[in-house]
C-alpha cells in the first residue's frame, strides 16, 4: 500500500513538472491559428454574440496574457461562449504555441 501511494505521488509530481515545461512554438502555431484569424485578424471587428463587443487584436499581446486568457476560457472563468468552445478544444501545448505566435506579431 505504501508503495502504491508513493508511486501515485511520484506520478503526480512528474505530471506537474511536465505541465510546467510546456514551451510555446510560434512556428507550430501556424497550423493552429485558422480558428483565430476569422475574428482576431480583422481590425475593428465587432462580434454580436452574446452581445456587441470589440474583438481584441492579439498581435503584440504578451504570451502569458494570451495563454492565461485561453486557460480562463477553457475553465469557464471567462464567459464568452465562442471562445470557451474554441479553448476547450486546445491542449496546453496548443495554447502555448498560439500565445507564442501572437506575442511575436505586431
| Residue 43, domain member (yes or no) | yes
C-alpha grid cell for residue 55?
A: 474583438
Domain range spanning residue 99?
Answer: 26-104
Kindly state the helix (H) or strand (E) to which residue 53 belongs, with its residue range. strand 53-54
| Residue 2, domain member (yes or no) | no
Residue 90 maps to which CATH number? Answer: 1.10.760.10
Residue 88: its pLDDT value, please? Answer: 97
Q: What does the mean pLDDT of the chain come to? A: 87
Residue 60: its pLDDT value, please? Answer: 95
| Residue 94, domain member (yes or no) | yes
**For 38-63, what is each residue's pLDDT tens digit?**
999 999 999 887 788 899 999 999 99
| Residue 35, domain member (yes or no) | yes
| Residue 16, domain member (yes or no) | no
Please give the tally of structural domains in the chain. 1
| Residue 38, domain member (yes or no) | yes
What stretches in the chain show pLDDT beneath 50? 16-18
Amino acid at each position: 500500500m505504501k508503495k502504491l501511494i508513493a508511486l501515485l505521488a511520484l506520478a503526480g509530481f512528474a505530471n506537474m513538472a511536465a505541465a510546467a515545461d510546456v514551451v510555446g512554438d510560434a512556428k507550430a502555431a501556424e497550423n493552429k491559428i485558422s480558428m483565430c484569424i476569422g475574428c482576431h485578424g480583422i481590425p475593428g471587428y465587432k462580434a454580436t454574440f452574446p452581445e456587441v463587443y470589440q474583438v481584441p487584436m492579439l498581435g503584440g499581446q504578451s504570451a502569458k496574457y494570451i495563454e492565461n486568457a485561453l486557460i480562463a476560457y477553457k475553465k469557464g472563468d471567462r464567459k464568452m461562449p465562442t471562445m470557451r468552445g474554441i479553448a476547450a478544444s486546445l491542449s496546453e501545448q496548443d495554447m502555448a504555441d498560439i500565445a507564442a505566435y501572437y506575442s511575436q506579431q505586431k
